[in-house]
């Protein structure tokens, strides 16, 4: 059966090792843009992983184009985060130095507090200035230019793009991956904008076919038209993608998110990766996905209140205890459950952070049996006694209503 339907079976450990040795490694635009979003330590780990496959690296023309078009926007967005942080610190300082209402700081603590605030603000402003220098002197762009030299693909001709767009309309109507989730994107001056993922995909196939090689694609795009996800776990690339690739190239195709790519690279080089770095990389991916701009003609999102959020989490916990694996995975909860219900992703994460700050919910790494790696999950935090317990003990906290209640 496996030989007849190879796309339906995950490669074995030996097959994955062979893929790592023999395949081309292609990177998506979001992987390169993440270099601007990561801390210096996380950035070094991704750069090291890319350098390790430099001899086999391929940057699809469409991915390179999207990276170059968006890098300044991403840099500016990261600069805005420093502005927000400085404002938050200054607002907190103003509040604590207000002598007319609670909360009060003892007079004796104010000088040291003011000094520390000033130091933090100056440090953040310096880091912001360093970030803004990348607008004109960009060491990240220099690194990418160096590793991508001679391995960036060529553009499709206008005739090929026109044919691809016509085929893409049919594929999107039938929800054939990848790209159909972008089917409602506004053209914004680019008639092929909504076909960006499909263009990348066809360029991957074209390159692999020309070299008669298998291919590993590294992307942090977690939309359902690229990945199979089940119970909060990413199973692998969509079966349809592997079927199409194998049918076109007669070689195998696999995908990694950035954190898994770095982990696998570290295994090959026998290197240890900090758990903090991997957590940062996953968090950046989730935040970028949550901030994705949707076409408002198709998506009308509402803001969820903290009260509504707490109720939704509690309901999901009860359902998980009664029906599922006993935990609520954070990303599927926000993007699947709440997104389907019409709630804005970014506002949902804000509400969760507010509840977390109040001690009403807890974000934790679920370590349940059978999971290859921890899954970032959420649970209510009603009783400190259970704060560090896995959700398998949730039935002791949440009473599951009987039928009819």
**Which residue ranges make up each domain of the chain?**
6-72+145-275, 306-396
Share the mean pLDDT of the chain. Answer: 83
- Using pLDDT thresholds of 50, 70 and 90, give the confidence band for residue 350: confident
Judge whether 228 and 213 are in contact, CB under 8 Å: no
What does the pLDDT average to over 7-19?
92
Predicted TM-score (pTM) of the model is: 0.65
Nearest to 258 by CA among 10, 106, 16, 33: 33
According to the model, what pLDDT value does residue 343 have? 76
Domain 306-396: state its class: mainly alpha
User: How many residues make up the chain in this entry?
Assistant: 405
Residue 142 is classified by DSSP as: H
| Strand order from edge to edge, sheet including 215-218 | 57-58, 24-27, 215-218, 253-256
pLDDT at 392 over 50: no
Q: What is the CA radius of gyration of the chain?
A: 24
What does the pLDDT average to over 40-59?
96
Helix (H) / strand (E) containing 298? none
What does the pLDDT average to over 48-73?
94
Instruction: Reduce the DSSP state of residue 327 to 3 states and report it.
Output: coil
pLDDT at 404 over 70: no
Instruction: Give the C-alpha separation, 217 to 253, whole Å.
Output: 8
What does the pLDDT average to over 341-366?
85
Judge whether 375 and 365 are in contact, CB under 8 Å: yes
Instruction: Give the C-alpha separation, 216 to 195, whole Å.
Output: 21
Between the CA of residue 173 and those of 85, 166, 180, 210, what are the distances in Å?
A: 44, 11, 8, 29
Q: Sign of the C-alpha dihedral, residues 178, 180, 185, 191?
A: positive
Which range of 45-49, 305-309, 353-357, 358-362 scores highest in mean pLDDT? It is 45-49
Instruction: Give the C-alpha separation, 375 to 329, whole Å.
Output: 7
> What is the number of other CB atoms lying within 10 angstroms of the CB of residue 110?
15
Instruction: Give the C-alpha separation, 147 to 137, whole Å.
Output: 18
- The pLDDT tens digits for 83-136 are 777 788 877 777 777 776 667 677 777 788 778 888 888 888 777 777 667 656
Instruction: Reduce the DSSP state of residue 106 to 3 states and report it.
Output: coil
Instruction: Reduce the DSSP state of residue 86 to 3 states and report it.
Output: helix
- Using pLDDT thresholds of 50, 70 and 90, give the confidence band for residue 396: very low
According to the model, what pLDDT value does residue 369 have? 58
- The pLDDT tens digits for 181-208 are 888 776 666 889 899 999 999 999 999 9
According to the model, what pLDDT value does residue 246 have? 97
Beta bridge partners of 375: 366
């Amino acid at each position: 059966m496996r030989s007849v339907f190879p796309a339906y079976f995950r490669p074995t450990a030996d097959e994955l090792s062979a893929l790592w040795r023999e395949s081309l490694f292609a990177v998506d635009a979001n992987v390169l843009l993440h270099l601007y979003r990561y801390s210096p330590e996380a950035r070094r780990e991704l750069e090291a992983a890319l350098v390790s496959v430099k001899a086999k690296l391929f940057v699809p023309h469409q991915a390179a184009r999207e990276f170059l078009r968006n890098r300044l926007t991403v840099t500016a967005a990261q600069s805005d985060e420093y502005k927000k942080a400085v404002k938050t610190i200054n607002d907190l300082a103003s509040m604590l130095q207000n002598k007319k209402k609670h909360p009060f700081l003892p007079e004796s603590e104010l000088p040291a507090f003011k000094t520390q605030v000033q130091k933090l603000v100056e440090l953040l402003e310096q880091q912001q200035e360093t970030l803004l220098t990348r607008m004109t002197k960009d060491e990240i762009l220099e690194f990418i230019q160096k590793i991508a030299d001679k391995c960036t693909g060529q553009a499709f001709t206008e005739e090929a793009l026109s044919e691809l767009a016509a085929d893409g309309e049919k594929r999107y109507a039938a929800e054939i991956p990848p790209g159909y989730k972008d089917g409602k994107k506004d053209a914004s001056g680019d008639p092929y904008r909504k076909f960006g993922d499909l263009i990348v995909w066809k360029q991957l196939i074209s390159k692999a076919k020309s070299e008669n090689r298998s291919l590993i694609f590294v992307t942090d795009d977690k939309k359902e038209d690229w990945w199979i996800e089940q119970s909060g776990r990413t199973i692998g690339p969509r079966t349809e993608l592997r079927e199409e690739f194998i049918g076109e190239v007669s070689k195998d195709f696999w995908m990694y998110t950035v954190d898994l790519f770095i982990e696998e690279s570290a295994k090959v080089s026998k290197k240890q990766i900090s758990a903090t770095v991997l957590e940062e990389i996953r968090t950046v991916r989730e935040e970028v996905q949550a901030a994705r701009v949707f076409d408002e003609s198709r998506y009308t999102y509402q803001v969820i209140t903290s009260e509504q959020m707490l109720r939704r989490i509690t309901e999901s916990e009860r359902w998980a205890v009664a029906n599922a694996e006993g935990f609520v995975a954070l990303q599927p909860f926000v993007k699947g459950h709440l997104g389907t219900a019409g709630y804005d992703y970014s506002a949902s994460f804000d509400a969760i952070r507010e509840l977390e700050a109040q001690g009403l919910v807890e974000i934790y790494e679920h370590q349940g049996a059978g999971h290859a790696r921890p899954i970032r999950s959420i649970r209510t935090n009603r009783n400190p006694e259970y704060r560090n317990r896995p959700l398998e003990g949730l039935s002791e906290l949440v009473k599951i209503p009987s039928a009819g209640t």
